[in-house]
């Protein structure tokens, strides 16, 4: 089965912040998990480089838009290895192949009769690069996202006849009830569609920084259509000499933030239909990680709002896995929620260092000390067999639905169960009693097998940590066939180094 997952492409005008890391890590966990299961995976991320905001910022700095885009794209490219993103390609919308493919697809939309020329007048947010409909405008004629005053804009544009797709979009939502996830986002998108669709601008006349409209070279495509098409165009040139479109289109998951729901859940399927292309299977819409600011108000974390929890600082002090873990622990993926540095510190200490880290070092240490590192070849304790029964199927089922937080919680329940088991069986007591050697063998073998399974299941979440753990266990098999309790038998283990040392 093919599995194609994407992140939004990030707008190069912003500096990378936690929101970007969040979307990317979410998609990365799904990609890594599906690779474990032996699926044919393609994972795409990249940057969106066209549009008025980039042109304006470049002008202000006295550089060309391309120079600005090159410089800023590099910051996002550098973010990927830092957060351990395993993306297969990094797309830039200034790639020549992308631009040619955008022209190709939108020419088809034109030739299929879904495009017309007209005059557009409306309220426009230059930061969103988007016109706002009347019911989106905030009090005082402001952008609901940026809270800046909107400008009245009037220009001759090419229009995409979105209104003609209302019925087909409603049919799509009826026939693919998981097209948008989670459910409350599906309802939000569907009610937007049912509220009546207006045609949308497909081009801008007074801009040059974009992809030229092939049938009217005085225009460039509206940046949103150029950007959305990245998901489709990337497959045609991501691997030199190979076209992956047949193999991976339609996408399995577009992972996005809720601020771009309208574009992905309404415009995007409509433009694909207009081009005669299949629509994606799922759009997964995540919420915002909110931080309590100085006034006690909760705000979306974004550079433009000046309220930033720095992912780079977390990575530097605590490591990448700590960030990957925390992003999905306090706030359920798909919901809004509050994060804080205090909560982060608590989770790091209590869960990563104490619960998981201590379990790993304690269990390997006991096998090393009481059995010279040799894992006893005995049958496993039925209590743990039962505690782990069905776990890998549950995790796979949850991740099939991108329920990352719930999958992590299911795994973490077993981290706690194993710690409780160690406390109950007290191997250090058994070791003192020569008559209880068999009980000790069983306890050690049962715990260490649980630790091995946790390693396999946590691989997509904590790839660096699991690699260290698996060194100590002498077994690096993270494929899904190894995910069941009792699926493999470890031979020899070494005492694990501390997985989560105290931060400097
Ligand atoms: Zn805005």
Q: Which of 33, 110, 300, 327 is catalytic?
A: 300
* Residue 298 pLDDT: 57
Q: Cα separation of 70 and 90, whole Å?
A: 13
**Residue 146 C-alpha to ligand 1 middle, in angstroms?**
4
**Residue 32 C-alpha to ligand 1 middle, in angstroms?**
34
Pairs from 435-441 (Cβ < 8 Å, separation ≥ 24): 438/378, 440/370, 440/376, 441/371, 441/376, 441/378
Dihedral over Cα of 238, 239, 240, 246: its sign: negative
Closest CA to 211 of 59, 80, 102: 102
Q: Which of 184, 303, 468, 495 is catalytic?
A: 303
Q: Cα separation of 479 and 97, whole Å?
A: 35
Beta strands in 304-422 (DSSP E): 337-339
Q: Cα separation of 425 and 443, whole Å?
A: 7
Q: Is 468 a catalytic residue?
A: no
- Give mean pLDDT in consecutive 10-residue pieces for the chain, a chain of 504 residues: 98 90 98 98 98 89 96 96 98 98 98 95 83 83 90 91 98 98 98 96 89 96 96 98 98 97 98 98 96 57 49 91 96 93 90 97 98 98 98 98 98 98 98 97 98 98 98 98 96 96 68
> 65 and 56 in contact (C-beta within 8 Å)?
no
Q: Cα separation of 44 and 234, whole Å?
A: 8
**Residue 285 C-alpha to ligand 1 middle, in angstroms?**
19
10 Å CB burial of residue 468 (0-12, 13-18, 19+) is middle
Residues 6+ apart with CB under 8 A from 257: 8, 19, 23, 285, 286, 287, 288
* Residue 307 pLDDT: 44
Q: Cα separation of 3 and 203, whole Å?
A: 32
Q: At what angle do helices 18-36 and 391-400 cross, to 10 degrees?
A: 130
Q: Which of 128, 132, 254, 262 is catalytic?
A: 128
* Residue 125 pLDDT: 87
Q: Cα separation of 414 and 490, whole Å?
A: 19
* Residue 302 pLDDT: 44
* Residue 295 pLDDT: 52
* Residue 303 pLDDT: 39
Closest CA to 489 of 448, 457, 440: 448
* Residue 377 pLDDT: 97
| CA angle at 440 for the pair 437 and 445, rounded to the nearest 5° | 125
Q: Cα separation of 250 and 279, whole Å?
A: 6
**Residue 259 C-alpha to ligand 1 middle, in angstroms?**
10
| CA angle at 300 for the pair 189 and 133, rounded to the nearest 5° | 40
- The CB-side HSE value for 188 (13 A sphere, CA atoms) comes to 17
């Amino acid at each position: 089965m093919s599995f194609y997952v994407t992140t939004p492409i990030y707008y190069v005008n912003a500096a990378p912040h936690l929101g970007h890391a969040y979307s990317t890590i979410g998609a990365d966990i799904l990609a890594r998990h599906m690779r474990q299961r032996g699926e044919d995976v393609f994972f795409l991320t990249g940057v969106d480089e066209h549009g008025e905001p980039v042109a304006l910022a470049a002008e202000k700095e006295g550089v060309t838009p391309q120079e600005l885009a090159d410089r800023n794209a590099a910051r996002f490219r550098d973010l990927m290895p830092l957060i351990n993103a395993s993306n297969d390609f990094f797309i830039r919308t200034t790639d020549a192949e992308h631009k040619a493919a955008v022209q190709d697809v939108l020419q088809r939309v034109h030739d299929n009769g879904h495009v017309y020329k007209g005059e557009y007048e409306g309220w426009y947010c230059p930061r969103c690069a988007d016109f706002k409909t009347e019911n989106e405008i905030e009090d005082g004629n402001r952008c609901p996202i940026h809270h800046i005053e909107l400008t009245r804009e009037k220009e001759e544009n090419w229009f995409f006849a979105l209104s003609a797709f209302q019925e087909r979009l409603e049919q799509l939502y009826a026939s693919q009830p998981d097209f948008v996830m989670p459910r409350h986002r599906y309802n939000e998108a569907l009610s937007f569609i049912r509220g009546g669709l207006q045609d949308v601008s497909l081009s801008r006349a007074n801009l040059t920084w974009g992809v030229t409209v092939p049938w009217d070279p005085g225009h460039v495509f509206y940046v949103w259509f150029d950007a959305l098409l990245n998901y489709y165009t990337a497959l045609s040139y991501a691997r030199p000499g190979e076209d992956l479109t047949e193999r991976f289109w339609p996408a399995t998951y577009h992972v996005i933030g809720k601020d771009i729901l309208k574009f992905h859940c309404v415009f995007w399927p409509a433009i694909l239909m207009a081009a005669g292309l299949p629509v994606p299977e799922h759009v997964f819409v995540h919420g915002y990680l909110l931080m309590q600011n100085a006034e006690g108000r909760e705000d979306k974390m974004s550079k433009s709002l000046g309220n930033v929890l720095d992912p780079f600082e977390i990575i530097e002090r605590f490591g990448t896995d700590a960030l990957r873990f925390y992003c999905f622990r306090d706030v359920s993926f798909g919901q809004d929620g509050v994060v804080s540095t205090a909560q982060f510190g608590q989770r790091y200490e209590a869960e990563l260092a104490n619960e998981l880290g201590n379990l790993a070092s304690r269990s390997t240490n006991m096998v090393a000390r009481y059995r010279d590192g040799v894992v006893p070849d005995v049958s496993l304790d039925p209590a743990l067999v039962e505690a782990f029964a069905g776990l890998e199927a549950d995790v796979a089922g949850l991740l099939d639905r991108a329920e990352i937080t719930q999958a992590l919680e299911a795994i973490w329940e077993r981290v706690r169960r194993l710690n409780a088991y160690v406390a109950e069986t007290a191997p250090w007591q058994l070791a003192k009693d020569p008559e209880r050697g068999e009980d000790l063998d069983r306890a050690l073998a049962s715990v260490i097998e649980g630790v091995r399974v946790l390693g396999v299941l946590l691989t997509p979440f904590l790839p660096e940590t699991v690699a260290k753990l698996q060194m100590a266990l002498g077994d690096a098999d993270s494929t899904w066939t190894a995910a069941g309790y009792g699926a493999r038998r470890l031979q020899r283990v070494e005492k694990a180094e501390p997985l989560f040392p105290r931060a400097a």
